[in-house]
């Protein structure tokens, strides 16, 4: 285990992720702890912006809307058996959701405890909007990349059929 003298540093974050389909927010597709197979995750804050200009073309206002968080989870599929490891290579359907617990508590985009979906204060579920990948290689470990989004104003658990 690494240690340091002088200044403290933050190294990675363990987490448990549970995936659900868009149609069912109670039956899990996959639950896995990424603490031992977690290659890391990146969280970022995004929003839409618009500049308001006067008749001279000078900016006189700035409008921000559609605040959201993006999280890209990178992990190595793992399990007690190869079959269990393949189960963790799962990518949900569009609008599937993810629950994340046990990650370090950080504030991002004004959302306290932004990564975890439970805890205090609780924040909404992550939404899988597609774009994930599973990389298999003959020269090393497989890798799952799971891009997720969270909109603070969305509190529904399942997609609504149109």
The structure's pTM equals: 0.79
Backbone angles phi, psi at 126, to 5 degrees: -85, 145
* Predicted local distance difference test score (pLDDT) of residue 61: 97
Q: How confident is the model at residue 4 (pLDDT cuts 50, 70, 90)?
A: confident
Greater pLDDT, 7 or 72: 72
With cut-offs at 50, 70 and 90, classify the pLDDT of residue 102: confident
pLDDT at position 35 over 50:
no
Please indicate whether residue 47 or residue 118 has the higher confidence score (pLDDT): 47
Average pLDDT over the chain reads 81
Helices assigned H by DSSP within the chain: 82-87
For the segment 26-38, the average pLDDT, to the nearest whole number, is: 55
Please determine, for residue 136, whether its predicted confidence score (pLDDT) is greater than 50. yes
φ/ψ region of 57 (left if φ > 0, alpha if ψ in -120 to 50, else beta) reads left
């Amino acid at each position: 285990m690494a240690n340091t003298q002088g200044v403290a540093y933050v190294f990675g974050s363990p987490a448990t992720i549970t995936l659900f389909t868009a149609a069912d927010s109670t039956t899990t597709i996959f639950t896995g702890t990424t603490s031992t197979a977690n290659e890391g995750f990146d969280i970022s804050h995004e929003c839409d912006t618009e500049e308001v200009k006067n008749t001279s073309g000078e900016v006189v206002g700035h409008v921000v809307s559609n605040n959201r968080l993006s999280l890209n989870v990178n992990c190595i599929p793992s399990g007690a058996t190869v079959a269990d490891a393949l189960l963790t290579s799962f990518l949900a359907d569009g609008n599937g959701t993810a629950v994340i617990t046990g990650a370090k508590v950080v504030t991002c985009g004004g959302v306290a405890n932004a990564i975890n979906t439970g805890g205090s204060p609780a924040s909404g579920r992550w939404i899988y909007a597609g774009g994930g990948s599973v990389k298999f290689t003959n020269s090393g470990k497989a890798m799952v990349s799971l891009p997720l989004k969270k909109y603070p104003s969305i509190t529904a658990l399942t997609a609504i059929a149109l």
